[in-house]
Amino acid sequence: MDIAKPATPMLRRPRLWWLTGAAVTLAVVLAASLALGRAAPAVARSDVWIGTAEQGQMKREVRANGTLIPRQLRWITAGAAATVQQVVVEPGARVKADTLILQLVNPELQANFVKQKAALAGAEAAVAAQKALLHSQLLDAQAIQTQTESDLLTADIKRIANERAYEKGASAEIEVKQSKITVEQDKKRLAIQQQRVAAIRANIEAQIRAEEARRDEAASALEIARQQIDSLAVRAGIDGILQQVDVEPGQQIASGGKLARVARPDDLIARLQVPEALANDLALDLPVDVDTRNGHITGRLTRVDPSVRNGSVTVDVAFDAALPAGARPDLSVEGRVVLGTLPHVVNVGRPYGAGANTAGSLFVIRPGDNEAHRVPVRYGAMSSDRAAVLEGLHAGDQAILSDTSQWNGYDTLRLR
């Protein structure tokens, strides 16, 4: 006989208790892990750049690095392919405009010069011969014209004589008519001959112009050959300092190749590279303070490059006074372009990645607090080292100005 066992309540089963406890523990661990994963990260104060907002005047300046360069700079290039025979003057020497710097050689240029000289002489002889020939043809035509004029006068005299003789009955009517015909024929011959002389004159002018054009072409070719010969003696071209020589004896140089550079060391300008983000407000004649490492000198913007190259805009600065001692070409300098002053604005050190008239956010540290909270801000005008803040900061607020992109997913930072 089977005996029925009493049922055990579910709450008293040990296995169920263990499973329930494990599930609760796992849920607590997961919740704690998620909570820890979203906890505010900690950062040392020394690892970030903290700035304090101020209220008052903000001087707008654009800082840019650059070098001193000569205002007058001349690159000397080869006028024709040649071989360097001799370097007469070494870099660093003071030169005059007619100072010989390099001596080049090219036998083909010398031969071509002689050839072009002979060609010009031949062209000049051809012009002279053509003029003589055409002048002779003109004289022949003029002689025929003179003979025709004489024949006409003779025929006209005979006509008059025959008419008078006919009136007296001493001549026949036919002779009068024949003399009239002869006069008309001679008039036509004279008119034709006059047209022929005029045509010969026009032809002479055209043929002489053609010969003179060929002569001028030969003269131009000779002048080019002479210039190429002269270019073998490389001269400075301007008074100044020979800065560099880019060739050496025995080197083959192509036409147009760079040979040397001459500059005026006493007339320098500063060429600065302004970051494109700060170049929007640049304008000609803005004042600039340039640090030459040996002193400061003021100047003004004389050129602003309209294009951007490698993230920078090139500007040139001309100086109002003599440069400090030690200023020389290629000296590294730092310039500050003064854009103006903003009165009574909240401003702070320029935050990383901030742009003029844009919106962003900063981690702001309240007084006596060890936490930085993200605050939306709106920027106004920018300077190289300062930024005007239109909204989000007040005078005395401290904010983290260094790069905080690694904490983009957080609104709070803990400072230690």
CA distance 79 to 102: 13
* pLDDT on residue 33: 45
**Domain ranges, ordered by start, for the chain:** 45-69+267-415, 73-106+232-263, 108-230
Give me the phi and psi of 38, to 5 degrees please.
-100, 5
Range among 9-13, 108-112, 367-371 rated most confident: 108-112
CA distance 157 to 131: 39
Is pLDDT at 2 greater than 60 in this prediction? no
* pLDDT on residue 37: 43
DSSP 8-class letter at 49: -
Is pLDDT at 32 greater than 80 in this prediction? no
* pLDDT on residue 14: 58
* pLDDT on residue 27: 60
User: Please, what CATH class does the domain formed by 45-69+267-415 belong to?
Assistant: mainly beta
Q: Binning pLDDT at 50, 70 and 90, where does residue 355 land? A: confident
Q: Note the pTM of the prediction, 2 decimals.
A: 0.53
Look at 271 and 18; give whichever has higher pLDDT: 271
Is pLDDT at 241 greater than 70 in this prediction? yes
Is pLDDT at 260 greater than 90 in this prediction? yes
* pLDDT on residue 381: 85
* pLDDT on residue 38: 53
In this structure, what token pair is assigned to residue 212? 């003179």
CA distance 55 to 346: 4
At which residue do the structure tokens 């009239």 appear? 180
Nearest to 356 by CA among 388, 314, 398, 404: 388
Look at 77 and 175; give whichever has higher pLDDT: 77
Nearest to 273 by CA among 331, 314, 316: 314
pLDDT tens column, 123-179? 889 888 888 888 888 888 888 888 888 888 887 888 788 777 777 776 777 877 888
- Lowest-confidence segment of 99-113, 168-182, 318-332 by average pLDDT: 168-182
Angle at CA of residue 217, ends 216 and 221, nearest 5°: 115
CB 197 within 8 A of CB 142: yes
CB 27 within 8 A of CB 397: no
- For 300, other C-beta atoms within 10 Å of its C-beta total 15
CATH code given to domain 73-106+232-263: 2.40.50.100
* pLDDT on residue 235: 92
Is pLDDT at 83 greater than 90 in this prediction? yes
- Lowest-confidence segment of 1-10, 216-225, 227-236, 330-339 by average pLDDT: 1-10
pLDDT tens column, 285-307? 888 989 888 888 889 999 999 88
CA distance 10 to 309: 80
Range among 4-8, 12-16, 338-342, 360-364 rated most confident: 360-364
Mean residue pLDDT of the chain comes to 84
**Cross-sheet strand order for the sheet of 252-253:** 233-235, 100-105, 82-87, 252-253
Looking only at the bridges linking them, the beta strands covering 268-275 and 312-319 are: antiparallel
